[in-house]
Amino acid sequence: MQASARLVAFLFFWTIATFVTAQQIQTIDHIYDPRVQTVLLFPQLNANPNDPTRTLNPPIVSLDEQVPLQLEFDELSANYRSFRAKLIHCNSDWQKSVLNDIEFTYEYNDNPLTEYQISINTKVPYYHYRYTLPRVKLPGNYILVVYDERNRNNITFTRRFMTYQNRVLVSALARFSAAPDRQFVDQQIDFNINYKGYQVISPQDDFKVVIRQNYRDDRVIQNLRPTNVQAFDQVLDYRLIDLSNTMPGSNEFRFFDTRTILSRANYIERIDRPADHNIAYVQSDQPRARGAYLQSDDFNGQYVIDHRETGDGATYGDYIETVFTLRTPEIPNVAVYVNGAFNFWQLNDRNRMTYDPILNAYRTSVMLKQGVYNYDYVVQTTGSPPKVDEYYIEGSYSSTENDYEVFIYHRPPASRADQLISYRRIGLNKRR
């Protein structure tokens, strides 16, 4: 009995220490250790583990379907490292909830990452890790935290994911903006919520709605209120006339293909092959803000890892220094970035471009694993606070093909945290 008491006491104080550490973690997608790259989290919907397109699906799964989430990432120090993973439950605003681990997990919430492979025939050696996330009990927002096993305060990276249960019915439609002066640049999302049979005290106040474009957490609409409450039919209408449910359509993403280094693939100008790593020069780009919209297929800003010769990008894909060039005169008082899901849509030193007066262009290089990548160019003002403008260079068109998601959150009576009670994906201008 004394041994059991000591074990319980140890676990209690360990949980408290973990909670304190978790409180300090940023609840965003972020890589803290530069030795770790290509962090992918996706549902295992395809039985073929080498299908590169499986990673295009966002890390959102239904609790009723029992589809597991798969984590994959690379460690580029060429030395084996031990990692562990734990989950943090968050409310709809991505702030940590007050729930204890036992309230949202079925098993011990701290697991080692034991599955790994060593890269094969690559100039840049790395360890490729895989981890299947454990099941959770509650629908809602979660943060996956991966840290160094030797030092739990050494957080390696964090990734967001969501689970849902469709307890209310959402009908949604994406279309061109209803505003005459914005119909060629903006897109509008109209929807309603049918909550028949679902217990809610004040439906016009209790539901929290989030709309997201192209799986990007930096492109969201929230704090929407219904325009009409059909109490008898138990339906909430969201057909707003103040344009708060509209979003710029942006432009189709640029892309390039580095699945092979034996020859130049799509939009690759040349490939240099020094001894320690390969260098790929993406074809020079021009601003697209002026002119007509041009239709093209893309991954809506995402990317896939692949290796043309073997079909196994996970371990055969090499890391390539990828050089981007934007030919435009220097833009005063702004910083220019090449952006995409490869950098979690974050603007930092990794993807910031430098103006070269000899080339009369902005240029930067990013180490990226072989595959097919979407990207675009973003400017950020240097004032305080800085403002991000994705349309200054790329333009915005309502004809752009985009994916939208509608999230409905609610905190049930007697519950201590928000739950994701409905999830709906819709597309606009789909061509396939």
Query: Is 292 a residue whose pLDDT tops 50?
Result: yes
Please write the tens of the pLDDT for every residue from 20-44.
Answer: 344 468 899 999 999 999 999 999 9
pLDDT of residue 48: 73
pLDDT of residue 382: 85
Of residues 264, 22, 37, the one with CA closest to residue 145? 22
List the single range of 2-6, 102-106, 112-116 with lowest mean pLDDT. Answer: 2-6
Question: Mean of the pLDDT values across residues 153-169?
Answer: 97
pTM for the model stands at: 0.91
Ordered by where they begin, the domains of the chain are 15-164 (2.60.40), 169-249+400-428 (2.60.40), 254-394 (no CATH)
How far is 67 from 63, CA to CA, in rounded Å? 8
Q: What is the dihedral of CA 159, 161, 72, 301, to 10 degrees?
A: -80
pLDDT of residue 52: 87
Query: Is 331 a residue whose pLDDT tops 70?
Result: yes
List the single range of 49-53, 208-212, 411-415 with lowest mean pLDDT. Answer: 49-53
The distance in angstroms from the start CA to the end CA of the chain is: 64
Query: Is 194 a residue whose pLDDT tops 70?
Result: yes
Quick one: what percent of the chain has pLDDT higher than 90?
87
pLDDT of residue 14: 37
In contact, 289 and 393? CB cutoff 8 Å: yes
pLDDT of residue 22: 44
pLDDT of residue 241: 86
In contact, 194 and 168? CB cutoff 8 Å: yes
In contact, 268 and 281? CB cutoff 8 Å: yes
pLDDT of residue 123: 97
Question: Mean of the pLDDT values across residues 289-316?
Answer: 95
Mean of pLDDT over the chain: 92
**Beta-carbon contacts of residue 234 (< 8 Å; ≥ 6 apart):** 194, 195, 196, 203
